[in-house]
Structure 1
């Protein structure tokens, strides 16, 4: 947008400069033309008067002397045709067509003393003429050659001065246009970034009170609205976390009562009914645990949501070797994998690799991914590996199980979403959501891809750490 506005202002500035320069240069040309014309007409009138006196006295000596002196001084020819003879100086001759035309018009008592407008890069000379004599009789004609080269030189100098001034003015106008455009559009750009930030993170940084009054008021209104939205989101998230935490006490008390009740039950139907209640209670406990973990993960994802906070958070993360953490999670998942008939393989990297991440949260993410692979792909071969990527490092957990379709992979990070084919497997649909939020909190991205010929690959992509290992 800034480029488009600046382009329009630049065109307007150029038009202003060109218009002003054209007016100044046209006026300068007209001024020099008038100045030259007045000067030469005065000289022509003087020679006409001298010629008239010479015609009366029949003595052209004074006339010839004055004409020669003028031609020598200005380099312009003069031709005076009397009734008895023709007097000339310089290179002016009646052999030239324009001189003959001027003499013919003057013989008809038609004076021609108008010069064409001077152009800076023209060439050639012009002639002006007039007759002299009495009121009733033309005694002769005087023709004066006009060489406007000196005036052209002056006009070229003025063109140069005006051109330099136009360039300076144009540069000044463009600079002013750039400053004004930046002053007006900078708050709009900040507002656009703030809207995107609010949309993606639920938070936004405070907009500076800058720019035109209307945009300052808009920035203040948006900041107030964004604060309200952020407070509402935080309140909802806190409500979910508090509710989940508070429900754990009554659920724990309910479990204790059911355990005591089971001790008093004698018949098998009663025990079966109690077992069903316990199973549902365990499901509720799993959901509460998942909601608490999700609330913590979302809080981590949002607490460093602004650009400045993201940079500070990234610096705060420890630069660690992920292999020992992956090794610990694989060992922890081994018993469950053996019960499900799965085999877990941990790929040893060729050289130590490092990434910027919270160690506990990396362990949590890898543990969730291993749990999902064991639960939803029983009997499969599960591989855990770290790979160097162009932008950093990736931690992969892949299996050769049934996998998920492209649409299911897209929806898998939605809260409480579960694939239809997994409806009979216990779970709360929060595991992948928690991993996705924790990845965001660690400046990483969770990518789910299909594996050939079948299976699923969950990859945590971390950007390259900027620094050495941080203990």
Structure 2
């Protein structure tokens, strides 16, 4: 971050300092040219006024200018004969070229800009006379030392100011970058320490970190990104370990519970009348534990990422089949039901077994909790590349504040009677998300509960 800020600051300072330095050079050379052009014009006018009798006075003025300013000066007539000169060799090629230009009524040009390392002398020429009549030429061998010195001083001031600005910016940028980066560094250290502690508790064969990814950007951000990716891998590994633990534990409990249930059935034939109620409660409790174990196994399987891509299932056929299966249970529970199944429902992108588990869990919840006299609607339709499946009832429902919690494990709404493990909607939620879909639980109209899931459709 400090490097980025400094590069930006250097670019900005250079963008301001360089044009300012160039402007100073142009301004100084403009004043230099104006002064020398005025001097050349003065001597040109003086030469045009003086005849041969005035040549001594002309030479005296030229000599005085050379003594005062230390610059060479020459005045020649139209034939190129020197009328007056001081401090300049008229026979020099560059001087002759300047004289020729002035005799052609051309004024010598000074450079457009001036730098400290520019040439030390510049020839400034002006014609004597004007219009179509040129009577001679004036050439000044002007020294640029003073102008170059002024430009050098100005550039030093500009450079010192730019350096001072950069130093100030560097101090501010260092403080700002430390202020910004310090939390990133601390967060990265904490994330890395979390990962180290997590890996220290894993078996040796599972403690290997995946290969790191090369990131682009500032070092602190790259380090934090790598730490977060490692933490994400650790969390995923921990989640997978948790699922394995739940599955292994449930699987280990299933056989002992089955054996215990058999023993209770055998023992029931010899239980005296006085202990029959206790025996019945124990049997029901074992059955409830067996149901919890089975649901945990199903939930662990549902939360495991899907393997090969499924060819999908016929949601309409699955709904008709499961409603027929549950119709007797719904009738016995005192509920009426209706179907709202469209004819052109596309195939849903989830296995048929998962669709059956979802429908069984939803219809089981309805028969347990909706209550007698409730009306149940089971439906599905296609749209926008999805298959929508819903089960809605007009039963007691769930308080609005409790709706976001109904998909949590082992959650049961307050005041809800009946048997249940609190895992039914958790299983539905996990199976739906594994298929790439979404689950929405909302209050029914006018009462009750509506559970709607949207899964991708299989595109033919």
Q: TM-score, normalised by structure 1?
A: 0.60
Are the equivalent residues in 1 in contact too, given 2:338–2:376 (CA < 8 A)?
yes
3-state SS, counterpart of residue 418 of structure 1: coil
Corresponding position: 1:236 with 2:242: yes
Corresponding position: 1:413 with 2:407: yes
Q: Give the C-alpha shift of residue 417 in structure 1.
A: 0.8
- 1:290 corresponding residue in structure 2: 295
Corresponding position: 1:227 with 2:233: yes
- 1:250 corresponding residue in structure 2: 256
Corresponding position: 1:346 with 2:344: no
Unpaired stretches in structure 2, ≥5 consecutive residues: 59-74, 80-100, 109-127, 133-146, 148-180, 192-208
1:85-108 deviation line (CA, Å, top 9, x unaligned): xx97459xxxxxxxxxxxxxxxxx
Question: Which one of 54, 57, 60 corresponds to residue 56 of structure 1?
Answer: 54
Corresponding position: 1:453 with 2:456: no
CA distance in 2, matches of 1:376, 1:7: 63
Q: TM-score, normalised by structure 2?
A: 0.61
- 2:32 corresponding residue in structure 1: 34
Are the equivalent residues in 2 in contact too, given 1:383–1:398 (CA < 8 A)?
yes
CA distance in 1, matches of 2:297, 2:342: 34
C-alpha distance 357-11 of structure 1, shift in aligned 2 (>3 A) = farther
3-state SS, counterpart of residue 374 of structure 1: helix
**Larger deviation, residues 290-299 vs 19-28:** 19-28
Write out aligned runs for 1:266-281 (5 A).
267-281=272-286
Q: Give the C-alpha shift of residue 459 in structure 1.
A: 0.3
1:44-77 deviation line (CA, Å, top 9, x unaligned): 43553564555626999x99979xx96972499x
Are the equivalent residues in 1 in contact too, given 2:391–2:452 (CA < 8 A)?
yes
3-state SS, counterpart of residue 355 of structure 1: coil
CA distance in 2, matches of 1:242, 1:357: 25
Q: Give the C-alpha shift of residue 43 in structure 1.
A: 5.1
CA distance in 1, matches of 2:332, 2:41: 122
- 2:378 corresponding residue in structure 1: 384
- 1:365 corresponding residue in structure 2: 358
CA distance in 1, matches of 2:312, 2:24: 72
1:115-153 deviation line (CA, Å, top 9, x unaligned): xx9xxxxxxxxxxxxxxxxxxxxxxxxxxxxxxxxxxxx
Q: Give the C-alpha shift of residue 271 in structure 1.
A: 2.1
Unpaired stretches in structure 1, ≥5 consecutive residues: 77-86, 92-116, 118-184, 196-203, 305-312
CA distance in 1, matches of 2:391, 2:358: 10
C-alpha distance 65-464 of structure 1, shift in aligned 2 (>3 A) = farther
Corresponding position: 1:261 with 2:255: no
Q: Give the C-alpha shift of residue 27 in structure 1.
A: 2.4
C-alpha distance 419-217 of structure 1, shift in aligned 2 (>3 A) = closer
3-state SS, counterpart of residue 450 of structure 2: strand
- 1:442 corresponding residue in structure 2: 435
How many positions carry a matched residue from both structures? Answer: 335
CA distance in 2, matches of 1:206, 1:442: 29
- 1:110 corresponding residue in structure 2: none
Question: Which one of 383, 388, 400 corresponds to residue 394 of structure 2?
Answer: 400
3-state SS, counterpart of residue 421 of structure 1: coil
Q: Give the C-alpha shift of residue 21 in structure 1.
A: 2.9
- 2:171 corresponding residue in structure 1: none
C-alpha distance 381-57 of structure 1, shift in aligned 2 (>3 A) = closer
CA distance in 2, matches of 1:405, 1:206: 48
Are the equivalent residues in 2 in contact too, given 1:418–1:429 (CA < 8 A)?
yes
3-state SS, counterpart of residue 415 of structure 2: helix
Are the equivalent residues in 1 in contact too, given 2:386–2:457 (CA < 8 A)?
yes
CA distance in 1, matches of 2:321, 2:277: 38
C-alpha distance 351-229 of structure 1, shift in aligned 2 (>3 A) = closer
- 1:84 corresponding residue in structure 2: none
Q: Give the C-alpha shift of residue 357 in structure 1.
A: 2.2
CA distance in 2, matches of 1:217, 1:459: 42
